[in-house]
Amino acid sequence: MKEHIADFGGQNVTTVFNGPSSDDFETAYQLSQEIESDPDLFVYCGNIGKAQKVDRIIEAFAHAKKDTAMRSARLNLIGGGAELAQCQSLAMQLDITESVRFYGPLPKKRSLETNGRCGGFLLLH
């Protein structure tokens, strides 16, 4: 990325990685082999701010829960941020608090264990 930005005239560029690395996904996969996976569990792990639009995940999840095939689905949201309280309030408004769990920030290994168990990992870009 640093080289790409430099090609466009950027100077004194520092790359700060804040997302999961490919090694993290490998670790999550290895952990998933050791722990029983849960196909009804969906996980988002990251910042809960305006840019991430986690509210859209919650709205989509509430909509999907209306389908009989999704009745047992659960959503784990790992992380914190400026929109956390609004997202918690939205889950209450949509009456899905029994299916949505807010963990707050977790240590990396614990997050990877949770990600390794899930049937669907939601990665926003």
What DSSP letter does each residue of 55-102 carry, written as one string? HHHHHHHHHHTTSGGGTT-EEEEE---TTHHHHHHHHHHTT-TTTEEE
Question: pLDDT at position 53, please?
Answer: 92
Return per-residue pLDDT of the chain as tens, 125 residues. Answer: 556 566 666 666 665 555 666 676 666 666 556 556 788 989 898 899 998 999 999 999 999 999 999 999 999 999 999 999 999 999 999 999 999 999 998 887 787 777 777 777 776 65
Burial 78-117 (b: 16+ CB within 10 A, else e): bbbbebbeebbebbeebebeebbebeeebeeeebbbbbbb
Task: Give the model's pLDDT for residue 24.
Answer: 65
Phi and psi based region of residue 8 (left: phi greater than 0; alpha: psi -120 to 50; beta: remaining): alpha
CATH of domain 19-122: 3.40.50.2000
79: phi > 0 → left, psi -120 to 50 → alpha, else beta; which? left
- Output the pLDDT for position 110: 80
Q: How far apart are CA 46 and CA 25, in angstroms?
A: 14
Would you kindly state where each structural domain of the chain is located, as residue ranges?
A: 19-122
Instruction: Check residue 55 and give its pLDDT.
Output: 96
pTM equals 0.72
Helix axes 108-117, 22-34, angle to 10 degrees: 60
d(CA 37, CA 120): 10
